[in-house]
Amino acid sequence: MPVLVFDLDDTLYPELSYVHSGFRAVAAFLSPLLSVPADALAAGMIAEEAAHGRGQVFDNVLRQHGRWSKALVAASLRAYRQHRPKISLFPDAERALARFADLPLYIVTDGHKEVQARKVTALSLSGRVRHAYLTNRYGRHRAKPNPHVFQLICQREGVSPAEVTYVGDNIKKDFVGIKPLGFNTVRVARGNYAHYIADEAHEAARIIQSLDEL
């Protein structure tokens, strides 16, 4: 039986929705400390991220309000990572999970293991896939493009790589490590890399615009 494996961020749900959910949680945490309405703080974080990326959002917002400190930045990051996200699947992801429910389904995702686990819970995915592989649980060196967890899936299902299809969006890491081993690869063209053209090593064997095309 063929095995279908999905990436998580920007494949099954829009990652930016998690970012904004996290900003709202941090804003609620900071609001009484800064005496600024949470909605205003969240809007400022969203604007800061849109203008400069997310790397220094908390630093910059705290500086704007004259309250920067290393401890408060760290506390903001904890609030971001530990919040219970309010996120939803893409409509085509919902349809794909229902359509392929009779197949062995898996998730492989990089990132902070507790953060990714909360996303899986928030999206109610645990009961819809056989397992969600959070690569950081196996050490950062086994994050994509390392094929380790894909090989675990093959062992678990008793299949060869040719019987496994991975659907992702990130041309930098999703496909380059598993293509040489014979895994099938599909890129859904959305997220940060929607309009990028990759070299042959990094590109998936097939590109789709929607999971409805699977």
- Reported as a single tens digit per residue, the pLDDT across 175-211 is 999 999 999 999 999 999 999 999 999 999 999 999 9
CB within 8 A of 186, min separation 6: which ones?
Answer: 165, 166, 167, 168, 204, 205, 206, 207, 208, 214
Is there a contact between 145 and 135 (Cβ–Cβ < 8 Å)? no
Q: What is the pLDDT, as a whole number, of residue 107? A: 99
User: Which is nearest to 5 in space by CA: 94, 109, 117?
Assistant: 109
- Reported as a single tens digit per residue, the pLDDT across 73-87 is 999 999 999 999 999
Is there a contact between 100 and 81 (Cβ–Cβ < 8 Å)? no
With 90 as the cut, is the pLDDT of residue 69 above it? yes
Measured distance CA(114)–CA(140) in Å, rounded: 14
Q: Decide: pTM greater than 0.75.
A: yes
**What is the mean pLDDT of the segment spanning 37-63?**
96
The superfamily CATH assigns to domain 3-14+86-213 is HAD superfamily/HAD-like (3.40.50.1000)
Q: What is the pLDDT, as a whole number, of residue 178? A: 99
With 90 as the cut, is the pLDDT of residue 1 above it? no
